[in-house]
Amino acid sequence: MQKILNGINSWAVLVTVIITVIAVPILIILINIFIGQSETWSHLVEHLLTGYLLNSLVLVVSVGTLSLLIGTACAWVINTYDFYGRRQLEWLLILPLAIPTYIMAFIYSGIFDFSGPVKTFFRNQFGVGLAFLDVQNLYGVIFIMTMVLFPYVYVSALTYFKNASGSLIEASRSLGSTPTRAFLKIVLPASRPALVAGVSLVLMEVLNDYGAVKYYGVNTFTTGIFRSWFSMGDLQAAVFLASMLMAFVFVLILLERWQRGKRRFDQGGRSTQPLLRYKLLGWKYVFALAICLIPLLLGFIIPLLQLVYWTWQTAYKVVDGEFWTLLGNSFLLAGISALVCVMAAILLLYGVRVAKSTRVENISKLSVLGYSIPGAVIAIGIMITLITVDRWWIDLMKYLTGEKVGFLLSGSLFALIFAYLVRYLVVGYNPIDAGFKRISTSLEEASLSLGRGRWVTLFRIDIPILKASILGGALMVFVDVLKELPLTLILRPFNYDTLATKAFQYASDEMVAESAPASLIIILIGLLPIFLLNKLIIKH
Amino acid sequence: MALLTLEGIGKTYDGSKVPAVNDVDLSIAKGDILSLLGESGCGKTTLLRLIAGFEKVNQGSITLDDLVVASSGTYISPEVRPVGMVFQDLALFPHLSIKKNILFGLNKLTKPEQLKRLEEVLALTGLSQFASRYPHELSGGQQQRAALARALARKPKLMLLDEPFSSLDDVLKSQVRSEVRRIIKNAGITAILVTHDINDAFAVADQIAVMRGGKVLQCGAPETLYTQPADAYVSRLFGKINLIPIEYDANRLMTAFGDVHIDSEGQDTSKKTLGIRPSKIKLSDQIEGTLRGLVSGVRYAGGYWSLEVKPEGQSQDEIMIELVDGVVPEIGERVSFYFETHHVYLF
């Protein structure tokens, strides 16, 4: 019989290796906060940095505030009142999340274009030009971002209201409060952490965006990173901007943590019985309906109709052989990335389970880092990591064979998939983590006691039981990769296009209508995980 | 011949200062069923997991069938130890049928051998007609037997059962207990049963090891533990008992109820407590040479009367007496009584 000394430690090593690979590109950026300046840098600081910072700040504050207002208001109405259409609106209000900010930007610029439906209508009917009505500015960005991102707050608030507010409201009503007063004085303060968590997701997306701000000509950190790299060819400046953006994000995360503090707010008691909803009639009904319907119309229905119309107009010339290649590229890339993320997540989670060490568990928590960091920052981190590795490779080959070889990893699909792994690992990780938590460790121990090893146990016991969670996680990564823009633009191999980059290119070339078919596919596939998420929320 | 021998086993979990298992010596003869009995947190489950190989020992050694499977320098991982286990939550694989659950551990056998062994354990556990069902389609008792069948199929040298009856209701429990004992005995396997319920131990085990605070307090046959408990804790675990403080004066052994005479050669004056079960105290109509007290409570308890008797002039330290027949005294009455000498324990 074989003696296996410290057989368990190899899993700790595996977890550490995966985390290290994922953390290196991020840490490299972090280090660059403290070092390195370049020639264009002083130019950047003098003329542009203040503008970047200011625009990013204005966006964060205004989109955050507006999303908070709209999301909370919708969630409150849906949770507290009963009216015709409530059930449908409850899940319809999540749908704007399926539209990426950059696609929303194209659509609204098209709608308010000189030849777009709004201005044409006013011109023809009233002879008014409406020249002042222009969305291609900072206000336009604030508007379109709010309209697609408010559901983060809505979902977060609604989940909290549903779980905790029933008993809170009943308690305050039994103490003589009106429902409105109960909401303002009790529920709203108690739900603060949930609301802030929703807002912080909104802000991560705001800071991640490149397509919308670029399209509307608003300079932020992400456009600065692109300009430094693509226009000025100054990687060092791009890295520095990336590190500043990352610092910005970390400040937001710390603020969120800090406001949560030591208080625990979720002790509001789980109400198993749903709250008795107030039936709304008359003008109150119209008002409640308007609160929910306007964001839905502006955030989903109108943009979708416009896209469908454009697709109908342009499909015959856009959908050709090249389009199918595009579709193939996108699906292949998203599929491989989903597979890689899910595999990494499974190995990490299983490794932590097997290693049974708090230190390993803490290390594994670093895997969530990537999702809060903007795609452009990760792209830059991956780029400098791979360039370094490639230089070693070239030197090594020169030493070994005396010949000069080209880059191995930079500018390859590998770089792109690696970057998706860093950014979206946690998207696959969370549902699988939840799935693992439901598997009793005794199932794994039973398999061991039946003479099967750790790997067999993973493939024969854990993975089959986790099937649904794994598929869910893979689908979410798939969709996220499909709509990803800034990271893909920076790292894609030369002349390699995906649905997202092609749509962006069409729109940038003043061919917004032609970008519609690709955009429509991205949105329709993006709806899948939302329906999945929705099913989960309704269940709880 | 001992199949399993534990010597000086110690285990302290990471981040804990108190050892979960502390210097345990234990051995089990081949074919015996041993029960590890104790309250939750006493270390019994940890000891089981050390034997199974799910935890590593800090000190001591575990020898199974003349092979050291765990010591400070040796660790044989659970999948290669010849040990089967039935888990507290049974841990039947929910995505596999009962048949596939059982076959899961038989991969080293050839196909015909696998099927033959499958038939054998299904017949042994009476599950033949349920083989194609999934775990959730079985009753609690059937699930229990399925878990047992799965563990038995590999013909382990040692079977470990971790609180296997805790999820069953009381009616089912007594039935399943005797079934489990019958199945294990028919298979001729040595087994260890971890439980907090003494009735589990009585119904299934040949030997009982009482654990507390990570240590084995006493190990022996159930009747030995009942009649010769090593200390007050063990005596209390095995049934109702009066624990009475004692003092010594010259050759007398004094209690608050009077002097006690026991025929033991020489007295060990380090003992501070006298233990006597309520059924081993008899009322007496003689005055001389007996103990006396005041009746402070009388209650009919089904088959016997339960008396509370306290020392005269004191309000506490009352003892219980079980009175099966005779005249039932009234509250406030003075009674004389004596202890059955063979059933007096000194701790």
Torsion angle defined by CA atoms of residues B333, B336, B341 and B342, in that order, rounded to the nearest 10 degrees: -40
The residue type at B238: F
pLDDT digits (tens, 9 = 90+) for B141-154: 899 999 999 999 99
B54, B76, B95 ranked by CB distance to A1: nearest: B76
What is this model's ipTM? 0.81
Contact B75 A6 (CB under 8 A): yes
Cα Rg, chain B, nearest whole Å: 25
Q: If DSSP codes are grouped into helix, strand and coil, which group holds residue A144? A: helix
Element (H, E) at A233: none
Contact A461 B93 (CB under 8 A): yes
Helices A138-160 and A50-80 meet at what angle, rounded to 10?
40
Nearest Cα of chain B lies from the Cα of A423 at a distance, in angstroms, of 33
Helices A9-31 and A375-401 meet at what angle, rounded to 10?
110
| Residue B137, φ and ψ in degrees, nearest 5 | -90, 0
Per-residue H/E/C for A86-104: HHHHHHHCCHHHHCCHHHH
Cβ atoms of A100 and A483 closer than 8 Å: yes
Structure tokens at A472: 């869910």
The pLDDT value recorded for residue A5 is 45
Q: Does A3 touch chain B (CB under 8 A)?
A: yes
CA angle B320, B323, B326 (to 5 degrees): 145
Contact B91 A443 (CB under 8 A): yes
Mean pLDDT (whole number) for B251-259: 82
More reliable by pLDDT, B278 or A183: B278
Structure tokens at A250: 């970390």
User: How far apart, in whole angstroms, are the C-alpha atoms of residue A507 and residue A160?
Assistant: 39
Q: Return the residue of B nearest to A440 by Cα.
A: B91
Cβ atoms of A222 and A373 closer than 8 Å: no
| Residue B297, φ and ψ in degrees, nearest 5 | -165, 140
Contact B75 A448 (CB under 8 A): no
CA distances A330 to A326, A380, A488, B45, B62, Å, are 6, 21, 11, 52, 57
Contact B14 A357 (CB under 8 A): yes
pLDDT digits (tens, 9 = 90+) for B172-215: 888 889 989 999 999 899 999 999 999 999 999 999 999 999 99
Residues in chain B: 347
Non-local (6+) Cβ contacts of A50 within 8 A are: none
User: How far apart, in whole angstroms, are the C-alpha atoms of residue B322 and residue B198?
Assistant: 22
With a cut of 50, list the residues of chain A below it in pLDDT: 1-7, 267-269, 272, 540
Contact B91 A451 (CB under 8 A): no
Q: Return the residue of B nearest to A456 by Cα.
A: B104
Contact B104 A453 (CB under 8 A): no
Q: Return the residue of A nearest to B150 by Cα.
A: A450
The pLDDT value recorded for residue A3 is 39
pLDDT band of B287, cuts 50, 70, 90: low
Say if residue B114 is exposed, middle or buried (CB neighbours under 10 Å; 0-12, 13-18, 19+). Answer: middle
Task: With beta carbons under 8 A apart, name residues in chain A contacting B160.
Answer: 449
**Chain B contacts to A (CB-CB under 8 A):** 14-15, 52-54, 67, 74-81, 83-85, 87-89, 91-95, 104-105, 107-108, 150-151, 154, 160
What percentage of chain A's residues is helix, strand, coil (to nearest 5)?
80, 0, 20
Contact A5 B75 (CB under 8 A): yes
Task: With beta carbons under 8 A apart, name residues in chain B contacting A12.
Answer: none
Nearest Cα of chain B lies from the Cα of A353 at a distance, in angstroms, of 12
Q: Does A449 touch chain B (CB under 8 A)?
A: yes
The pLDDT value recorded for residue A227 is 85
Cβ atoms of B257 and B293 closer than 8 Å: yes
User: How far apart, in whole angstroms, are the C-alpha atoms of residue B39 and residue B292?
Assistant: 36
Q: Which of B11, B62, B75, B79 to mutate to test the interface with A (most CBs of A within 10 A)?
A: B79
Q: Exposure pattern of A224-263 as b/e (b: 16+ CB <10 Å)?
A: bbbbbbeeeebebbbbbbbbbbbebbeebeeebeeeeeee
Non-local (6+) Cβ contacts of A395 within 8 A are: none
* HSE, side-chain direction, 13 A CA sphere, residue B284: 16
Structure tokens at B63: 């020898």
User: How far apart, in whole angstroms, are the C-alpha atoms of residue B281 and residue B275?
Assistant: 11
- Closest Cα partner for A443 from B84, B138, B46, B89? B89
The pLDDT value recorded for residue A161 is 84
Q: If DSSP codes are grouped into helix, strand and coil, which group holds residue A357? A: coil
User: How far apart, in whole angstroms, are the C-alpha atoms of residue A197 and residue A250?
Assistant: 14
The pLDDT value recorded for residue A273 is 55
Contact B79 A451 (CB under 8 A): yes
Over chain B, what is the mean pLDDT? 89
Q: If DSSP codes are grouped into helix, strand and coil, which group holds residue A373? A: coil
B78, B89, B95 ranked by CB distance to A448: nearest: B78
pLDDT digits (tens, 9 = 90+) for B19-33: 999 999 999 999 999
The pLDDT value recorded for residue B43 is 92
User: How far apart, in whole angstroms, are the C-alpha atoms of residue A36 and residue A45?
Assistant: 14
User: How far apart, in whole angstroms, are the C-alpha atoms of residue B180 and residue B37?
Assistant: 17
B88, B95, B104 ranked by CB distance to A450: nearest: B104
Contact A7 B78 (CB under 8 A): no
Q: Does A465 touch chain B (CB under 8 A)?
A: yes
Q: Among the ranges A396-410, B193-207, B258-272, B332-346, which has the highest mean pLDDT value?
A: B193-207
Contact B95 A465 (CB under 8 A): yes
Task: Using DSSP bridges, classify how beta strands B190-195 and B158-162 pair: parallel, antiparallel or unpaired.
Answer: parallel
Element (H, E) at A43: helix A39-43
Per-residue H/E/C for chain B: CEEEEEEEEEECCCCCCCCCEEEEEEEEECCCEEEEECCCCCCHHHHHHHHHCCCCCCEEEEEECCEEEECCCCECCHHHCCEEEEECCECCCCCCCHHHHHHHHHCCCCHHHHHHHHHHHHHHHCCHHHCCCCHHHCCHHHHHHHHHHHHHHCCCCEEEEECCCCCCCHHHHHHHHHHHHHHHHHHCCEEEEEECCHHHHHHHCCEEEEEECCEEEEEECHHHHHHCCCCHHHHHHCCCCEEEECEEECCEEEECCEEECCCCCCCCCCCCEEEECHHHEEEECCCCCCEEEEEEEEEECCCCEEEEEECCCCCCCCEEEEECCCCCCCCCCEEEEEECHHHCEEC
pLDDT digits (tens, 9 = 90+) for B15-68: 888 999 999 999 999 999 999 999 988 999 999 999 999 999 999 999 999 999
| Residue A26, φ and ψ in degrees, nearest 5 | -75, -45
B15, B74, B95 ranked by CB distance to A3: nearest: B74
Task: With beta carbons under 8 A apart, name residues in chain A contacting B91.
Answer: 440, 442-443, 445-446
Cβ atoms of B142 and B127 closer than 8 Å: yes
